Chains A and B, each alone.
Chain A
């Protein structure tokens, strides 16, 4: 990124090719909507290009990129919170019972046609956005708890707690599917 900041366009191509699929999958799984994912994907890279001159090395480029994407996602959730009833507030901790009920309904509806992977995606969609975020950042970008905490601007313990809840619900849902 430093080389790109200093004017080397090939460095950007290298970075883009390395992270484009990871970022795209993260956004697609997080939003559950390919059109929205594409929009945020484009906005993220546009912001990176626009502010390239201000880039300073504070962490890995991956953390910097996901920090931008995370902020764009927050903006998206805030703007759509009132418009769409199925998208809850990003920071909202949904009631565990409600989440479990939704997961069970999903299983009953899709069990006969969906594979194990699709069932996992369905469970993922039902997770609160903050918990889903932690899970996806680790799965897609291989981030540690500290790196995720940096991206989300929260403490490591908060990230760990969110991951714990996410794993708990996903495992529970997968066990029911089996």
Chain B
């Protein structure tokens, strides 16, 4: 570029003021106008837009329409999911506790409601137990109706002096077992019987009160000692062997 073509700031100012040959030449073509059909189309577009809401508002309205149904659906799904999860957790925990309690403390041993019924309601318990062999409802009820040899309730009051075992002295399991002995005439499956015996014996950690031991038959003593040996409580079993002559003098209890 040579110096003739250089544009100074003054030239620019002069041009912006409109006083140049260039602007005059360009102004010759200002008769060019926007086509009428375009003008008509745009004016019609403006009228239609005026009668209808702007397009950018429609998506918002659409969102509002779906907001409530979506919220309800989400709530229902979450609720159902939570209910199922909580139920499964409860079932798992119950099973876990039941499995854990077998072979531990008798206090924690969970028994069916019918079995835990107080002694004064023995008749109703009896009724329910008599029906068990026919219906075979659960495995837990027949499990207690086996041999009446286990006494698991250590909550019996030791200071009781009554010769006849008071109803309160009998453990729920014991009373139930006696009822079962009188009424039921079926045998428990061997694996269940072993489990119950070992559970009851295993749950016991000390010798039962004398009031209870007085009522035991020879067979009950024998079964108790056998159960304790099976449960690995040899010392407790030996204590029972030592106590046996006090209730059956001139007799001894042999180790199984």
Contacts and interface: CB of A to CB of B under 8 A. Distances in A.
B25 A53 contact: no
Contacts, number: 96
15 contacts: A21-B33, A24-B33, A24-B34, A25-B29, A28-B32, A45-B46, A46-B42, A117-B25, A121-B29, A138-B15, A164-B7, A168-B1, A168-B7, A171-B22, A174-B22
B56 A50 contact: yes
Given A23-B34, A24-B33, A42 B41 contact: yes
B16 interface: yes
Interface in A154-176: 160, 163-164, 167-168, 170-172, 174-175
A119 B236 CA distance: 123
Nearest to B34: A24
Contacts of A28: 32
Contacts of B11: 167
Interface in A71-91: none
A46 B22 contact: no
B63 interface: no
A164 B43 contact: no
Most interface-central of B7, B45, B49 (chain A CB within 10 A):
B7
B98 to A, nearest CB: 68
Interface residues of B, number: 35
A122 B137 CA distance: 103
Interface in A133-171: 138-139, 144-145, 160, 163-164, 167-168, 170-171
Contacts of B25: 116-117, 120, 174
Interface string B51-91: 00011100000000000000000000000000000000000
A42 B41 CA distance: 9
A45 B42 contact: yes
B110 interface: no
Contacts of A41: 34, 38
Contacts of A167: 7, 11-12, 15, 22
Contacts of B16: 138, 144-145
Q: Is the interface of A mostly helix, strand, loop or mixed?
A: helix
A49 B32 contact: no
B41 to A, nearest CB: 7
Interface of B: 1, 4-7, 11-12, 15-16, 21-23, 25-30, 32-35, 38-39, 41-43, 45-47, 49-50, 54-56
Given A42-B41, A174-B22, A163 B54 contact: no
Nearest to A7: B50
Interface stretch (A8-16, A56-64, A104-112): A8-16
Interface of A: 7, 9, 12-13, 16, 20-21, 23-25, 28, 38, 41-42, 45-46, 49-53, 96, 116-117, 120-121, 138-139, 144-145, 160, 163-164, 167-168, 170-172, 174-175
B22 A50 contact: no
Contacts of B6: 168
A16 B32 CA distance: 16
Nearest to A38: B38
Nearest to A45: B42
Contacts of A52: 49, 54
Contact of B50 (A9, A45, A175): A9
A25 B34 CA distance: 8
Nearest to B2: A172
A9 B47 contact: yes
